[in-house]
Structure 1
Amino acid sequence: MEISINHEQAGKFEETRFEKIHNVIFKDSNKASVIVAQEIANLIKKKEKLGEKCVLGLATGSSPIKVYEELVRMHKEEGLSFKNVVTFNLDEYYPMQKTNTQSYWYFMHEHLFNHIDILPENINIPNGEIPSNEIYQFCIDYEMKIKEAGGLDFQLLGIGRTGHIGFNEPGSHFNSGTRNITLDHITRIDAAPAFLGIDNVPKVAITMGISTIRRAKRIVLLAWGINKAAVVQKAIEGEVTSEIPSSYLQHHDNVTFVLDEGASEELTRIKTPWLVKSCDWTNELTLKAAVWLSGLVKKSILKLTDSDYNNNGMANLLVEHGSAYNLNISLFNQLQHTITGWPGGKPNADDTNRPERKGPARKRVIIFSPHPDDDVISMGGTFDRLVEQGHEVHVAYQTSGNIAVSDKEAMKFAEVGLAMNPQSEHFNRIVDGIHNKKEFDIDNIEVRMLKGFIRQKECLAATRYLSVPDHQVHFLNLPFYETGRVKKNKLSSVDIDIMKNLIEEVKPHQIYAAGDLADPHGTHKVCLDALFGALGELKEKKYMDDCWVWLYRGAWHEWEIHEIEMAVPMSPDQVLKKRQAIFYHQSQKDGVMFQGDDSREFWMRAEDRNKATAQKYHALGLADYEALEAFKRYHF
């Protein structure tokens, strides 16, 4: 199966009339990646039959990882040969040694080249080690080499949050060629986790130019996750502008953007489909439209009128409901019923219109936390409420989080240990390990253990503050995480078994888990996949009939109002209590390693997010709460 379709065909569909670049949306990135890999494989085979070289332009980053995995699988299991393939990579940091684990040379060999039969002389990657006075000539030679190879038959792209393709940052010219370029601050922020801090991210890169990319015969751009949604919409539906370099692809006649659901969220046909087509008005879509309309006309739900609906593409919605009055009351009640101060269910109460069941009155609960502070950051208020209302709350920290502890923080603890026992060989080795660590070195096992223990004890301080007994706090240390690097191992049956064992031990009535899926290779996503894998194997167990799964989101994003199925209000005092619980995670305060592009500390982000959710509810005409934590139910 191939995803290729020309732009003229795509433009015939009414619902895509705002779109200037053909795109295909998949439920998840894995299936999409396999189909892209199949298209590349078919091209390689076609060229091989013709006795021709297949010239591929390749990208790095997290987006194409699964594509490369599938190509490797086809080579090993199906005999796909790469002997007729010539590759040209888009870019490389400068300066950057090939052996550096953050180099794109290293990335490509680790994910693809080391596992296939491509000829080494056919691999071309910009050289991050050449003297600066030779870069200009190198770039000219790189262009000539692409031309001599016959041009790019296929170019694989990702997209940065600045809209860059390759490292063509905002301001790049339509006719730009291969060159060195200064990286945008946002691009460097996004790369910071891999480099263990933005200070370590290079400021310059060598990149193919826009003109070079546009000359490819076929272009496929991959975009995964909600983080990419805004820039994807600008590239596909906006004007062509140097401020969004990917928008230049609107002028290419054989390009496809391959998106997952998160990355497509801002496209008109996804975000507001009623503006471009007749809709099948499901309950969720009806609520989504009304919430959008309320924000557009700046009215609460109960004040929306027939003309408000009719003037904004929703006339047929009123036909189904009779009038705005009837529809508004129905939607208002639906929103009202999501709000509960009893996240574990209210005993001896009518639960017909409550998000949770009333029984059993005392539920067994597992809160899965991917990192050692996600529980209190994302649902600290709900956590506290569950404990206060008498439920048996277990907290399961899925990973050690050791990589997020800075060397300076670890050194403080190591030196305290050494001061208490100057002859300790253990602490002497830890201190030496930190002192002698070179840039991008992996921590030795003892340093990693210390960093893991730091985070464990912070967790226990927070859970004790929230009155959870120590024996109900579980440190799973899932093996996929324990690489000592940002790049993790693949999820394995061992990880899933660890999750299964805890679920079988507790036999929970409720499970809470992180539903942040912005990065398909991120820790939250892998931890959620581990849970889904465990649930899939346990779902036939009798006790699982009584288990409900609620998904929360992290410090960066919240569920959209129409997605929320349970909203737990917090009083001002509870907001402060949640803040204090977050404060116990001291190693993650005051300039953490993985800050992202938000300078606020995690407790600030969490409070602002919870208050914003409450304000959105209030703007729709509901009660004025201090803050709300939001959840969406997962049906397995």
Structure 2
Amino acid sequence: MKNDISKLSEVEKAFVAQSMLKESSTKIPYVVVDNFPKLGLFTALRFLEWVAQNPEGVISLPTGKTPEFFIKWTKYLLKNWNEKDVVAIREKSGLKGVKKPELSGLHFVQIDEFYPIGSHQHNSFYNYVVNFYIENFGLDREKALLINCDEIPLAQGMTFNEVFPDGKVDLSLRYREAATPTEKIQQESVFLIDQWCSDYEQKIREKGGIGFFLGGIGPDGHIAFNVRGSDLFSVTRLTETNFETQAVAAGDLGGIEISANRLVITIGLETITYNKEVTAIIIAAGEAKAEVVKQSLEQPMSNIYPASVLAKSPNSRFYLTEGAATKLNDYVDYNYKNGEWTHAKSEKAVINLCKNINKYGHRLLLEDLKEDKYTSMIPGVSEKTPETVVSSIKEKISNGLRVEKNQRFLFTGPHHDDILLGVLPFISQHIQEESNKFNFAVLTSGFNAVTNTFVIQCLKDTKVLLDKEDIQMVKYADFFESGYKFKWDKDVYHYVTSLAGNDKYQMNRGLCHRVVRALVETYAVKDESDLRDKINEVLTILKNSYDGEKNPPAVQKIKGMIREFEEELVWAHFGVPVKDITHNRLGFYKGDIFTEQPEKNRDVAPLLEMIKKVDPTVISLAFDPEGSGPDTHYKVLQATAEALRELKKEKDISEMRVWGYRNVWFKFTPDEANVIVPVSLGEMASMDRIFENCYLSQVDASFPSFELNGKFSTLSQKIWVNQLQNVQLLLGKDYFYQNKNPKLRSAHGLIFVKEMSVDEFLGHARELEKSAEGDINLD
């Protein structure tokens, strides 16, 4: 079924005209745009188009990071409606001649909220809605239906802190007898919350239901907090979530330890579709969402894919970036059928055929190739076709086996642990070559990944060691004036030497040494007494903070410096000194809900200076041109690309190579990579041990991936093994375990890398930079 373009709005028609895909064959129509920022512009224009037609309509808008550019573009367009640049945007996008919409007549409905959570907390969705929608958009608060946990009635007029002092709500009290007086109060409170939810649902229906719904989609396919398995006729309710949702919420709530025990109040799937004319839009960006988007759009309506319920609503749409659309049948068809047929297409088609029919490459028959939709498109397809693909994949593996010499490597990562999780085995085969020079750079502070609980324990341990006089450097006469600046390598060497001897006490002592240096640098500590005061001050701040609260800048710096110490420990395993590890702490990373866009003077300039100083022949980076992982990744990519553009103006860097790697957030397919690195079981074990012994703040996996309830190092290993299995189906198992090369015989995983020239890399990054703002300052 092809969608009838006459049913699309004028804005949608305009963006379909700009899209590579002009039609969609799914029950729910979708529109594909180039990238994340453009997705925000498209969504903002469609929203304002709807508001112009429904000035007193009922709207429900999303929270979290997904709507960042929707919010920025909406505010910008309204503020500059009749300015030249916005008029040009409107004319191009189907809003020519439309009068500036007035938002004050709209009725807002909050989609969901954690329960319990204080409405004053910056990480509550109530606070988000008030700040980013009610006040930012100029909505009428009196016309809004909001979920304020502080105002939901509970037994005996008590607060949720009194009824649920540990933040845990036991929903089994709905169905069983209360065993204690406390449980009786909790049981009564649960029923009162249930009644409040029913009343909330009724108020939405009294408004006629939601007229414009905009939502993201979770890794399990959830919309609002209607997780996988939710009833397609569900209404507003207090409910539990699943692991995938808890993992995504961990960043908001201060760790999986909190989100795993926190319930949610959410509108239901029936709430969203109650109004038969609802304009319901799901936005999704990045390849990480590709599989769940495919299932939601191409599978029959099912509670396994909650977003599929929107098929009931004729005005429902999915707005997608190209990355999020990559697995859709329409998109795959388009890419095979259009443009020049490349060898990469042949690789993808043959490898996928092996996987789809579970057949080794050397056993593929000509009839297999001709019967398959995509391999049959290969020009001159013959029984020799699999051999050409096998040969090219083997060549990529050969590239991954090479040991380069006389190179100056600069490995960069958006966050700490990105480099290790992405390409450690590739690094380890080059780093022992004496003619190579290595520098490492982590571009953001990474303080968001350190829990308050971890820092509290570090500070307590530091106090104990001070009491024992086991941090002797504080006794040196000049330590607090200048001595703390020296011998940072000594902390690292002390730790790794103690690690070699399995001396946990001395390892912790090395960490506490670094914590002391961080405190002295951050607070300009005067003496040992002042040091103890600062420790107590930070402890007080952290103990009095709610879970997920944004820390003061000084505490953020302490957390970031702990992460920096962890990164230094990793590369100390290979003899890399502290001076060869750069901690850039780019200024756009501030721990806000929306990280700022990189700026030339603040963010690009220091990267340019670092690159000039190192003068690398090879620079590596997390290659995420669409923001499939955390938004920090593609913003770091923007800043790095801009630094290289500036460097090109000063000197010839045509010989410089760029190694793009991917890790736990997003993956290459074999056809996208041109370097395939075999990974042995020993190298996997080494990576896991290094992660566990160095990234101390991450071992408990407080902020896990939705793909695995555990350490990122375990997930990396799982990905590497899966990548080998896909290639192994093409090449055959005997290619590996019977190979003459011991490196290949020992391979139980593969890493994919994309080697590019600088110009090729900038070609990938340029469109993102251009579309993010161009000459328009959205802030």
Secondary structure in 1 matching 2:654: helix
Does 2:102 match 1:58? no
1:231 and 1:612, CA in 2 relative to 1: closer, same or farther beyond 3 A? Answer: closer
Does 2:712 match 1:602? yes
Deviation of 1:470 (Å):
3.0
Spell out the pairing of 1:288-299 with structure 2 (5 A cutoff): 288-299=348-359
Deviation of 1:456 (Å):
2.0
1:112 and 1:250, CA in 2 relative to 1: closer, same or farther beyond 3 A? Answer: same
Separation in 2, partners of 1:334, 1:578: 28
Spell out the pairing of 1:377-392 with structure 2 (5 A cutoff): 377-389=421-433, 390-392=435-437
Spell out the pairing of 1:55-134 with structure 2 (5 A cutoff): 55-78=58-81, 80=100, 81-129=102-150, 130-131=152-153, 132=189, 133-134=191-192
Question: Amino acid of the residue matched to residue 445 of structure 2?
Answer: S
Does 2:671 match 1:562? yes
Deviation of 1:240 (Å):
1.2
Which stretch shifts more, 494-503 or 139-148? 139-148
Which stretch shifts more, 490-499 or 264-273? 264-273
Question: Amino acid of the residue matched to residue 86 of structure 1?
Answer: H
Does 2:599 match 1:492? yes
2:266 to 182, 207, 229: 207
Please name the residue that 1:356 is paired with: none
Separation in 2, partners of 1:280, 1:236: 28
Which stretch shifts more, 123-132 or 337-346? 337-346
Deviation of 1:253 (Å):
0.9
1:24 and 1:468, CA in 2 relative to 1: closer, same or farther beyond 3 A? Answer: same
Separation in 1, partners of 2:611, 2:335: 42
Separation in 1, partners of 2:335, 2:73: 37
1:312 and 1:362, CA in 2 relative to 1: closer, same or farther beyond 3 A? Answer: same
| Bigger share in helix | 2
Secondary structure in 2 matching 1:112: helix
Separation in 1, partners of 2:688, 2:257: 29
Does 2:575 match 1:467? yes
Secondary structure in 2 matching 1:511: strand
Question: Amino acid of the residue matched to residue 372 of structure 2?
Answer: N
1:392 and 1:258, CA in 2 relative to 1: closer, same or farther beyond 3 A? Answer: same
Separation in 1, partners of 2:242, 2:686: 38
Deviation of 1:136 (Å):
4.5
Secondary structure in 2 matching 1:281: coil
Question: Amino acid of the residue matched to residue 272 of structure 2?
Answer: I
Contact kept in structure 2, 1:387 and 1:468, CA below 8 Å: no
Question: Amino acid of the residue matched to residue 101 of structure 1?
Answer: H
Contact kept in structure 1, 2:444 and 2:589, CA below 8 Å: yes
Spell out the pairing of 1:258-297 with structure 2 (5 A cutoff): 258-271=319-332, 281-297=341-357
Please name the residue that 1:458 is paired with: 566
1:321-343 deviations in Å (ceiling 9; x for gaps): 25131x22321221122124667
> How many residues are paired up?
608
Does 2:727 match 1:617? yes
Please name the residue that 1:549 is paired with: 658
1:2 and 1:437, CA in 2 relative to 1: closer, same or farther beyond 3 A? Answer: farther
Deviation of 1:615 (Å):
3.4
Gaps of 5+ in 2: 1-8, 83-99, 154-188, 468-527, 737-743, 763-779
Does 2:43 match 1:36? yes
Which stretch shifts more, 375-384 or 55-64? 55-64
Separation in 2, partners of 1:322, 1:418: 71
Separation in 2, partners of 1:171, 1:603: 30
1:388 and 1:486, CA in 2 relative to 1: closer, same or farther beyond 3 A? Answer: farther
2:367 to 298, 301, 307: 307
1:353-391 deviations in Å (ceiling 9; x for gaps): xxxxxxxx5222211112222212211111222322332
1:447 and 1:102, CA in 2 relative to 1: closer, same or farther beyond 3 A? Answer: closer
Separation in 1, partners of 2:399, 2:338: 38
Does 2:446 match 1:401? yes
Deviation of 1:584 (Å):
4.1
Does 2:234 match 1:183? no
1:415 and 1:149, CA in 2 relative to 1: closer, same or farther beyond 3 A? Answer: closer
Question: Amino acid of the residue matched to residue 515 of structure 1?
Answer: F
Spell out the pairing of 1:588-599 with structure 2 (5 A cutoff): 588-597=697-706, 598-599=708-709
Deviation of 1:66 (Å):
1.3
Contact kept in structure 1, 2:344 and 2:671, CA below 8 Å: yes
1:140 and 1:457, CA in 2 relative to 1: closer, same or farther beyond 3 A? Answer: closer
Deviation of 1:514 (Å):
1.2
Please name the residue that 2:30 is paired with: 23
Secondary structure in 2 matching 1:124: coil
1:295 and 1:30, CA in 2 relative to 1: closer, same or farther beyond 3 A? Answer: same
Please name the residue that 1:357 is paired with: none
1:150 and 1:250, CA in 2 relative to 1: closer, same or farther beyond 3 A? Answer: closer
Secondary structure in 2 matching 1:174: coil
Separation in 2, partners of 1:248, 1:417: 54
Please name the residue that 1:350 is paired with: none
Separation in 1, partners of 2:640, 2:10: 32
1:135 and 1:382, CA in 2 relative to 1: closer, same or farther beyond 3 A? Answer: same
Does 2:268 match 1:224? no
Please name the residue that 1:510 is paired with: 618
Contact kept in structure 2, 1:4 and 1:256, CA below 8 Å: no
Deviation of 1:509 (Å):
1.9
Separation in 2, partners of 1:419, 1:205: 40
Deviation of 1:460 (Å):
1.8
Does 2:236 match 1:236? no
Separation in 1, partners of 2:216, 2:148: 20
Please name the residue that 1:349 is paired with: none
1:184 and 1:610, CA in 2 relative to 1: closer, same or farther beyond 3 A? Answer: closer
Secondary structure in 2 matching 1:540: helix
Which stretch shifts more, 374-383 or 80-89? 80-89
Question: Amino acid of the residue matched to residue 659 of structure 2?
Answer: W
Separation in 2, partners of 1:188, 1:240: 24
Please name the residue that 2:521 is paired with: none
1:165 to 205, 214, 223: 223
1:581 and 1:541, CA in 2 relative to 1: closer, same or farther beyond 3 A? Answer: farther
Please name the residue that 2:753 is paired with: 631
Separation in 2, partners of 1:329, 1:377: 32
RMSD: 3.0
Question: Amino acid of the residue matched to residue 178 of structure 1?
Answer: T
Which stretch shifts more, 508-517 or 189-198? 508-517
Deviation of 1:23 (Å):
0.9
1:194 and 1:533, CA in 2 relative to 1: closer, same or farther beyond 3 A? Answer: farther
Separation in 2, partners of 1:321, 1:156: 47
Separation in 1, partners of 2:599, 2:144: 32
Deviation of 1:237 (Å):
0.9
Separation in 2, partners of 1:615, 1:445: 45
Secondary structure in 2 matching 1:82: coil
Contact kept in structure 2, 1:479 and 1:495, CA below 8 Å: yes
Name the TM-score, length of structure 1 as normaliser: 0.87
Please name the residue that 1:354 is paired with: none
Separation in 2, partners of 1:467, 1:545: 30
1:460-488 deviations in Å (ceiling 9; x for gaps): 222122132432211101122233x6754
Please name the residue that 1:415 is paired with: 460
Deviation of 1:316 (Å):
4.4
Separation in 2, partners of 1:342, 1:253: 50
Does 2:559 match 1:479? no
Instruction: Percent identity, please.
Output: 24
Which stretch shifts more, 393-402 or 150-159? 150-159
